[in-house]
Structure 1
């Protein structure tokens, strides 16, 4: 049974996946990226982030499905391109917008957060708890909010060629987006870049809203993992919706 490595979003930590990992039906691990969670204070680069994911894969036996959301999805793409032999499959969620489209806006928001990380963290925690009440919101903030690392993360994503990394990866890729997620903007370009790709939409969900229902999300990721275990495959290379 292929294991899963979960990769978190910007400024949060591995704890964000707690409600999901508690429900998956196979071995799994959630990794802290450089500058986040237990690795707060380390410099974030895409190379260091991909290496952190590869180390987590090694800890699960050397080959795993990588599932990431937002920044974690971009890091997952980088990991698949750099370490294809370790990545059994890639679930890239909420990360199909090319950074150049609104790079200036992201850089400005990140620089504001980094000027006063404590204040930005308090504001973020309030907003995340309001957006996702209950365990999903608490899981997002439980590992601390590293707002000071946001400029580094934004620059790392902006400087990485996601389409080239996807084109270099021979394995199966699922691009999963909330139907209301603005980060869907370039999803068709990302799908075309995949050698073996599928696009899945989650109705009525936004960028972080996919975390609002941990049970269905755990089942979705588990079902996708089943497709890279020895078993017949179907639905290759087509778009789909999750109802």
Structure 2
């Protein structure tokens, strides 16, 4: 059976963000909308609700999946893997290796401003996506709407969560993927050290948002991870982790 992929979006956008990547995949894939975002914009965001959303999506595609997320989606993916390890066959966590506790004051200040003036923040966000990304990718990112009003709830949930402890509790393979210019890679070595079976992949000349600029490259990363999981599950396969490897498939 072909291993499916469940994709988790970044803060204030929605699952439509992943449409260009899904179109490049050679396997079943589903992108969720987290509470407070997209089709679930009216709901409150909590980490409990977010991880249950991802787990429910995994159940819909057969009960086991490769989970991949960018930014907020990566942190939620980590939390889901720790809470539901048997459902998460492997984890691709993109642009989410900064300690949220260490940057809590900055996160909270930015989120509070966005939450107070959401309409203006939505316009600024949309402008930033369109400046940073090719038009088809930006169109996909913005297709589900922008919900800056959810940012205070998201930041409160992220800064309260123990991401390193959660990673340490997850026994499965983890690919940590960061743009070389992404400020959210600041603690990538600590995150890698927390993994039981981790790999670190750096994308050259790439920032945080611009990770999305090349959907074919992201799809290739996901196919690479899924192929590794399939080989690792095959009869007689040698289960040899490659912790600390830095590579670009």
TM-score tier, shorter chain, comes to: over 0.9
Alignment of 1:6-21 (within 5 A): 6-21=7-22
**How far has the Cα of 1:238 moved from its partner?**
2.6
Give the ranges of 4+ consecutive aligned residues of structure 1 lying more than 6 Å apart after TM superposition: none
Between 1:109-118 and 1:60-69, the stretch displaced more is 109-118
Give the aligned length: 243
**How far has the Cα of 1:134 moved from its partner?**
1.1
Tell me the TM-score normalised to structure 2 length.
0.95
Q: Is the 8 A contact 1:203 1:241 kept in 2?
A: no
Q: Is the 8 A contact 2:118 2:148 kept in 1?
A: yes
**How far has the Cα of 1:235 moved from its partner?**
6.1
Partners of 1:150 and 1:64 lie apart in 2 by 28
Match of 1:34 in 2: 35
Partners of 1:212 and 1:16 lie apart in 2 by 11
Q: Is the 8 A contact 1:180 1:204 kept in 2?
A: yes
Partners of 2:241 and 2:214 lie apart in 1 by 24
Partners of 1:192 and 1:214 lie apart in 2 by 28
Aligned partner of residue 73 in structure 1, secondary structure: helix
Alignment of 1:70-81 (within 5 A): 70-81=71-82
Q: Is the 8 A contact 2:68 2:91 kept in 1?
A: yes
Match of 2:56 in 1: 55
Mark the runs of 5 or more structure 2 residues left unpaired by the alignment: none
**How far has the Cα of 1:133 moved from its partner?**
2.6
RMSD: 1.2
Match of 1:236 among 205, 230, 242: 242
Alignment of 1:131-170 (within 5 A): 131-170=132-171
Partners of 1:72 and 1:228 lie apart in 2 by 21
Match of 1:199 in 2: 200
**How far has the Cα of 1:220 moved from its partner?**
1.2
Aligned partner of residue 85 in structure 1, secondary structure: coil
Aligned partner of residue 15 in structure 1, secondary structure: helix
Between 1:178-187 and 1:96-105, the stretch displaced more is 96-105
Q: Is the 8 A contact 1:179 1:206 kept in 2?
A: yes
**How far has the Cα of 1:219 moved from its partner?**
1.0
**How far has the Cα of 1:101 moved from its partner?**
2.1
2:93 is the alignment partner of 1:92? yes
Match of 2:184 in 1: 183
Partners of 1:238 and 1:113 lie apart in 2 by 37
1:44-80 CA distance string (max 9 Å, x none): 0111100000000000000001000000000000000
Tell me the TM-score normalised to structure 1 length.
0.97
Q: Is the 8 A contact 2:64 2:86 kept in 1?
A: yes
